[in-house]
Amino acid sequence: MPADPQTQYEAVVDELLATTPATTSKMFGMRCLKINGKAFAGLHHDAMVFKLSGSTHSEALGLPGAHLFDPSHEGRPMKEWVEVPVQHASRWIVFAREALKYVDSKHK
C-alpha cells in the first residue's frame, strides 16, 4: 500500500518542530515549514517540495518522478525547489533537514 502523503508530511513536521527552530506556515496556499520566516519545505498534493542546492539538489532531482517545482503550472519552475513524490517519502526528512540548513545559511 502506498504511503499516505499527509501522514508522511506530518511525521517530517513533528520531527523538525521537536528538534529544530522550524515553524509551520503556508506558501502558495500549501502547508509549509519555515526557518526565520523563510520557507524551506512544503506539502504539494502528493509530494513534498524542498529548497535545495548543490549535490543534495541533484540527488533529489535524480529520483524517479522528481522534478523542479512549478507552482504556477505555466512552465516557470523555481530552480532551487525540487518536488519529490510520495514514493520517496522515506527520504523526505533527509531533504527537509538539508533544505532547512541551506535556507538558514542563506539568511544569517
- DSSP, collapsed to helix, strand or coil, labels residue 75 as coil
Q: Which residues lie across from 31 on neighbouring strands?
A: 26
At 72 the pLDDT is 81
Ordered mean pLDDT values, 10 residues apiece, the chain (108 residues): 83 97 92 96 95 97 96 89 96 98 86
Quote the pLDDT of residue 2. 55
Locate 29 and state its grid cell: 496556499
Q: What residues make up the domain containing 20?
A: 5-70+77-106
- Residue 17 — φ and ψ, nearest 5°? -65, -30
pLDDT of residue 20: 96
pLDDT for 10:
96
Residue 34: name the closest of 16, 57, 14, 58 by CA.
16
Q: Which of 32, 27, 5 is nearest to 87 (CA)?
A: 5
> What global pTM score does this model have?
0.93
Q: Of the candidates 40, 39, 42, 35, which has an alpha carbon nearest to the alpha carbon of residue 9? A: 42
Number of domains in the chain: 1
| CATH code, domain with 27 | 3.90.1150
